[in-house]
Each structure stands twice: as C-alpha cells, then as structure tokens.
C-alpha cells in the first residue's frame, strides 16, 4: 500500500494494494500490522456506514473530549472528503485538506484525533464507510459550520443539502478554546 502525508500532521492518504483480475478485485481495507508500519496507531472500536445522495454535505464533525481518529473510505460512488485541523497549538490550526475518494480510486483517508471531518457527495449517491477509534458519544459531539468563511473550504458543490443540525453549527472562531482538542506532536 502507498501512504502519502498531507500538510496536516497525521492526516494521511492511503492507497491500498488492489488485486484485479477478470472476476473483479480484492483489497484489504484494514490490517492492523500493516497500518501500524505507517504510524497509524489507532485502535478502532466502531465501524459506521452512511448512504447519501448527490449534493449532500455532512460535517464538519468532531468529538471532544472523547476524540475519534477515523479511517474513511467510499464503498460506492464519489465524495470530496475534507479534514480540518482544529487542534489548539497546531502549526496548521484552521487549515484544511480535501481529497476525492471513490469506489474507483479506492483511496482512504486517515484522520487523527483532533481533526474535524466532513464530505460532500459528487456522484448520484455514495456509500461511505468509516472506522472510529472511540465510541460515538452524543454529549461530546462538536462541529464547525461547513461554510465557515475563515476556513474558506473550496467545496465542489454550490448549494449542498445540509441537515438542520449541520447548518446551525458555529464557525471555528466562535468555539471556546477549552472545547477544542490540544495538539500533540507525535514526531518529537
């Protein structure tokens, strides 16, 4: 498998090894030993799947203090996947990266604890699967408005379909610092 670092520390783009033949394909979506070789130390405890139609935008979500690392992948369709660094003290605080994930490119995105996540659906529909390193805890869920002008995320949809809950999320600057995770430098 190929692993590419992004400008946000700990956020990785993963291209699993895919074995194609006339019958179809096979790939490992997760192998603890192999992923640990690439510094992905998360211990996953919950798997989730969502189905969304074209133009749907979900996010930007995070949990704190029960922070979750996530390993995300599109099983069917295509999405524009976004990670936003919201870790206090991080050199890339408030910056984002985006990556197209699809059933064709089979890429995954690893999102470490303390990084908010969201995606918008580019295909007619998308089946989205993700592993989490902690259990869902509604009392600890947080979020940032998808259209936060300070983040200036270049979403590839003009008028996304957003839940009432996601449409009412605050901008990052309006979230109290004590409600945001702390940056932990894993490389020194």
What mean pLDDT comes out for the span 102-131? Answer: 98
130 a catalytic residue: yes
Confidence of residue 188 (pLDDT cuts 50, 70, 90): very low
Q: What is the pLDDT of residues 85-112, one digit of tens each?
A: 999 999 999 999 999 999 999 999 999 9
Q: Which of 30, 38, 61, 129 is catalytic?
A: 61
- Report the C-alpha gap between 83 and 74 in whole angstroms: 15
Q: C-alpha distances in angstroms, 113 versus 54, 90, 135, 181?
A: 28, 12, 13, 8
What's the pLDDT score for residue 184?
82
| Pairing verdict, β 12-15 and 2-5 | antiparallel
Q: What is the pLDDT of residues 49-77, one digit of tens each?
A: 999 999 999 999 999 999 999 999 999 99
What mean pLDDT comes out for the span 158-169? Answer: 97
Q: C-alpha distances in angstroms, 34 versus 20, 41, 168?
A: 20, 10, 40
Q: Which of 130, 140, 186, 187 is catalytic?
A: 130
Greater confidence (185 vs 178) lies with: 178
Beta strands in 22-160 (DSSP E): 24-27, 46-53, 57-63, 70-76, 78-85, 96-102, 108-111, 115-121, 125-132, 141-143
Closest C-alpha to 107, from 18, 33, 182: 18
Closest C-alpha to 144, from 170, 124, 177: 170
Confidence of residue 20 (pLDDT cuts 50, 70, 90): very high
Report CA torsion sign: 65, 66, 71, 75.
negative
Helical (H) or strand (E) element with 18: strand 18-21
- Number of helices (H), then strands (E), belonging to the chain: the values are 2, 13
The answer to whether the predicted template modeling score (pTM) of the entire model surpasses 0.85 is yes
- Report the C-alpha gap between 55 and 181 in whole angstroms: 30
As a whole number, the mean pLDDT across the chain is 95
The residue extents of the domains of the chain are 2-179
Query: Domain 2-179 in CATH: superfamily?
Result: Jelly Rolls (2.60.120.10)
What's the pLDDT score for residue 158?
87
């Amino acid at each position: 498998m190929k692993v590419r670092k992004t400008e946000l520390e700990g956020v990785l783009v993963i291209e699993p090894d895919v074995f194609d033949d006339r019958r179809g394909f096979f790939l490992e979506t997760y192998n603890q030993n192999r992923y640990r070789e690439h510094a992905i130390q998360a211990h996953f405890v919950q798997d989730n799947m969502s189905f969304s139609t074209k133009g749907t935008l979900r996010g930007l979500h995070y949990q704190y203090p029960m922070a979750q690392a996530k390993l995300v992948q599109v099983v069917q369709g295509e999405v524009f996947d976004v990670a936003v660094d919201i870790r206090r003290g991080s050199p890339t605080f408030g910056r984002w990266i985006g990556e197209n994930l699809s059933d064709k490119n089979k890429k995954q995105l690893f999102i470490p604890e303390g990084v908010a996540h969201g995606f918008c659906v580019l295909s007619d529909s998308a089946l989205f699967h993700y592993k989490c390193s902690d259990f869902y805890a509604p009392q600890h869920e947080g979020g940032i408005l998808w259209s936060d002008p300070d983040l200036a995320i270049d979403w590839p949809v003009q008028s996304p379909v957003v839940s009432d809950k996601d449409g009412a999320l605050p901008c990052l600057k309006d979230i109290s610092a004590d409600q945001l995770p702390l940056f932990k430098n894993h490389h020194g």
